[in-house]
Structure 1
Amino acid sequence: MRFSLALMLYGTIQASVPLHAAFAQQPPSNCTAPQNVSANFRLDRNCRYTGPILIDSSNVTLDCDGATIDATRSRNGITIEGRGIRNATVKSCKVDGAKSEGIFIKPPLTAPEMAALPKAKRYDIAPQNVSIIDSTVTNSGNVGIYVGNYAQSTLIRNTLVTNSGSTAIYLDASSVRAIVENSTFKGNGFGDPLGRSKGKLNREAIAIDSSAYNTILNNNFSGNSAGGVFLYKNCWERHNSPKQAQRWQHSSFNTINGNRFTEKVGVWIASRQAKNLTNWNCGDPPLAPGYFRDYADHNTIVSNVFTGGNIGVIIQDDFTTLKENRFFNQTESCVVLGSELRDSLLGAPIEGTTMAKNSCVGLNGDNGFRPEGESVFEACSENFLDNRPFNCGGIR
């Protein structure tokens, strides 16, 4: 609704003001990018600009009109930052080669400074209603699009993110209500593609880290290093660093709807639940040496298509709804629920998993929908394994 209102206002500006007045524009012969964008600004599509560009004001559109921002000499290509910034739009931009983040929606304070404020104040001063539309982000050394902590109502639409060293999109702690739709993510998570950092990574396309009420809708995921969409609560890693603050938000109430996955793992709920984090310097209380409680409950995975991966969906926390998904030619399992390690660490199985109207084709044997340890599919109906009705209680 807020985005629709922003579009209405934008249309009013265009109708009431001549185009050259609504958007300042660089002369075609001058391919120098503005350092700060504080009013509507359109770039020359024939130029290749040198980043970075900072959007530091509300109610501003940066329309690149297809121009490229060369960020190989800068940490970020485009940064949106300002205390209480609202309604900033990045449109039709090609951001290439940032040393760290291609596009960074940045909170106005460090994570510890934000954590020291009352919770309502944190959200009040963080960016809201930032939109990234019809854009391309390539060859970022770290994250393609970084949505900083406490950001609200971010929209990423019709955007391609490829060859990011780490994740294509990172939804940071306590951010809420992002919508990522009609976009493509491929070839991310293998480490800096330009070789500026020698470390090898193994990351997913979208990381939902202590972030809630997000919608991942009608996107294409293929060939990312670790997988598609992973949800987890950071264990307060590197907690001794002055840049870190403890995560309090669970990765909960997210919806993953209508996407297409060709990945090793399509979706992983609580992806760090059974991961040994001994070397991560975590600040949360451990369940056992190196193991920490992961929180990613009350999430919905609906109407997605998973093709040709190892495992379509892994569920390792409570109250997941899995319905109307189609799985084709997974090599290990279509769905894996729970783990024996989690059972032993927590002393309880996963609760409240609902599985309805899913189909798994091309996987021989009974591993299509596979519970592990003590976990069970608590509500189960109208699922099919190789075109035969599947009884969730039948493979215990």
Structure 2
Amino acid sequence: MKAFKSKLIQFALSIFFFLCSFNYGYSQSEQITIDKSDTVIDCKGGYFNDGKSTYLVISSINTTNGWIQTKNITIQNCTIKGGIRILGLGKNGQAAGVKESSFSLGHTERAKAAAPTNIKFSNVIIEATDGLTPMYLAPGTTYVTVENCTFSGVNTGSGPVVYLDAESGDNTFRNNIFRTTVGREVLACDGSANNVIDGNKFETAAKGGIYLYRNCGEGGTVRHQTPNHNTISNNTFNLNGLSLGSYGIWLGSRNGNRNYCDDDIGYAFGSSIDNHDFADYNIVNSNIFEGTIFGIGQIKNDGQNNLINVSSDINNTNADNELKISIFNGTVVLNNLIGDTSIRVFDYTGRVLINKVLTNNILEFPFASKQIYFIYVSNGARTWIKKVIVK
């Protein structure tokens, strides 16, 4: 019966899969391409493609009359061995179609119109094999949702675990577990904007967690969009064994520090006129960093106008029983609270200085004078975040 079901699943998949023998030069994995909109794949807890190493490509269709955008793909309850790439104009920022489009204004809009959109992965295990980047969102990819997924295995390739390429945006990664061993940062946001990275657990981030940058000029392509207006919140990073010069979150990790940055000269826009990352106007809020001493290596902010530890999404006050905080000689006293209270103290850069549960609503902490702190308090169903200036 089990063998019969497996054959039946394979037959159903063949209805909307196009199997290819070529592999873009990345590996010898079997390539499966999905280009039909409104496709739902539910493995019901089993393996995708019988557990074989697979290069899963979700792509739009290029016709003589233009691109037919692939939309509304859902993949759920599967274990995928290999890597996933979602693409339109090209497989990466240096692809011929992407490069040609980048030489004129309107490139971001063209890339987004060609790339797949509204793609969802739910309860999927993605096990890195064969040197494939586990998940690659190629230029222009939008509205991809990855939730309750687990990234595992060892990435022996040169890429990160997740790559958000140029001109992509509006993607969401929520409540995922990243435990893939990788030789660089876990999640690269390369000229990608308006993404939400929330509630994820980065179990291994020794080479860095989330990096925002813009790959100026690589392959001669002009990068138009900057890594701006991204929200990184409520994530937990294990930074044990963090490499020197690496960070849990780095806003603006390159800023022209690559030898190919001038390969796109000659155009009056984008990275052709300025090689900086412009990792600006991002929100970094309520992230937890484990395994570091005195906050070393947690957040590096090389952008501008980034908001770190703002309270707009978590502030829930009660006017009739408002939290009151008093600080006396390094002792924090919380009033109007009943029962156990969870408290986190952040410095102005977003580093977590303390994270514990109080039983008596009193916390002793060596606050430095003339410094700004943010204190996040959770008591029952109520939460607050307070900005404290120590005089």
* Map of 1:299 onto structure 2: 282
Q: Check whether the contact 2:72–2:117 (CA below 8 A) recurs between aligned residues.
A: yes
Distance 2:124 2:80 in 1: 8
Does the CA contact (< 8 Å) of 1:35 and 1:53 recur in 2?
no
Q: Are 1:213 and 1:255, in contact at CA under 8 Å, matched by a contact in 2?
A: yes
Q: Deviations over 1:58-95 (max 9, x none)?
A: 11111122222369986713534433111111112211
Question: Which of residues 24, 28, 36 is equivalent to 2:6?
Answer: 28
Aligned residue for 2:189, secondary structure, equals strand
Tell me what 1:90 maps to.
75
Residue identity in the other structure for 1:209: D
Map of 1:57 onto structure 2: 36
Displacement of 1:133: 1.2
Structure 1 residue 56, shift from structure 2 partner = 1.1
Q: CA deviation at 1:358?
A: 6.0
Counterpart Cα distance in 2 of 1:318 and 1:293: 12
Residue in 2 that maps onto 1:218: 199
| C-alpha displacement of 1:123 | 2.1
Of the three residues 170, 185, 196, the one matched with 1:177 is: 170
Give the structure 2 partner of residue 318 of structure 1.
304
Which of the pair has more CA radius of gyration? 2
Residue 298 and residue 128 in structure 1: after superposition, are their counterparts in 2 closer, same or farther (change >3 A)? Answer: same
Q: Write the distance in 1 (CA, Å) between the matches of 2:186 and 2:149.
A: 13
Match of 2:102 among 99, 115, 121: 115
Q: 1:357 to 1:60 in 2, by over 3 A?
A: closer
Deviation at 1:57, TM superposition (A): 1.0
Q: Is the 8 A contact 2:233 2:285 kept in 1?
A: yes
Q: 1:271 to 1:358 in 2, by over 3 A?
A: closer
Between the two proteins, the alignment pairs up a number of residues equal to: 286
Quickly say closer, same or farther: Cα 1:158–1:116, change in 2 above 3 A: same
TM-score, normalised to structure 1, is 0.63
Residue 164 (1) aligns with residue 147 (2):
no
Distance 1:62 1:114, change over 3 A: farther
Instruction: Report the counterpart of residue 219 of structure 2 in structure 1.
Output: 238
- Alpha-carbon distance in 2 for matches of 1:133, 1:81: 21
Partner residue, 1:46: none
- 2:218 counterpart SS class: coil
State how 1:195-274 maps to structure 2 within 5 Å: 203-239=184-220, 245-263=221-239, 264=242, 265-273=247-255
Contact 1:358–1:383 (CA under 8 A) maintained in structure 2? no
Q: CA deviation at 1:142?
A: 3.2
Q: Deviations over 1:20-62 (max 9, x none)?
A: xxxxx974346747456269xxxxxxxxxx8432211111111
1:104–1:59: structure 2 CA closer, same or farther, 3 Å change rule? same
On the 8 A contact 2:213/2:227 being kept in 1, the answer is: yes
1:289-320 deviation line (CA, Å, top 9, x unaligned) = xx942221111100111111341100111111
In 2, Cα distance between equivalents of 1:228 and 1:302: 15
Q: What code does the residue aligned with 1:283 have? A: D
Distance in 2, matches of 1:71 and 1:171, equals: 28
Call closer, same or farther: CA 1:85–1:311 in 2, change over 3 Å: same
**In 1, Cα distance between equivalents of 2:115 and 2:248:** 31
Q: Would the aligned equivalents of 2:128 and 2:180 in 1 still touch at CA under 8 Å?
A: no
**TM-score scaled by structure 2?**
0.63
CA distance in 2: counterparts of 1:179 and 1:57, whole angstroms: 22
| 1:147 aligned onto 2:137 | yes
Which range is displaced more, 134-143 or 176-185? Answer: 134-143
Could you tell which deviates more after superposition, 121-130 or 83-92?
A: 121-130
Deviation sequence 1:122-145 (CA, Å, 0-9, x none): 322221101111101112413111
Identical columns (%): 23
CA distance in 2, matches of 1:105, 1:36: 20
- For residues 348-378 of structure 1, the C-alpha deviation after alignment (integer angstroms, 9 at most, x for no partner) is xxxxxx948864249xxxxx99xxxxxxx9x
Higher relative contact order (CA 8 A, sep 6+): 2
Secondary structure, counterpart of 2:169 in structure 1: coil
1:137 aligns with 2:126: yes
User: CA offsets, 1:174-199, max 9 Å, x none?
Assistant: 10100000001123322xxxxxxxxx
- Counterparts of 2:251 and 2:348, CA distance in 1: 14
Which whole-Å CA distance do the structure 2 matches of 1:293 and 1:356 have between them? 21
5+ residue gaps, structure 2, are 19-28, 62-67, 91-96, 266-273, 312-346, 356-366, 376-386
Contact 2:89 2:98 in 1 (8 A): no
Q: Deviation digits for residues 213-241 of structure 1, max 9, x if unmatched?
A: 000010001223421100001112232xx
Measure, in 2, the Cα distance between the counterparts of 1:35 and 1:108.
25
Q: Secondary structure, in 3 states, of the residue corresponding to 1:122?
A: helix
Task: Determine if the alignment matches structure 1 residue 382 to structure 2 residue 383.
Answer: no
Does the CA contact (< 8 Å) of 2:204 and 2:238 recur in 1? Answer: yes
Partner of 1:365: none
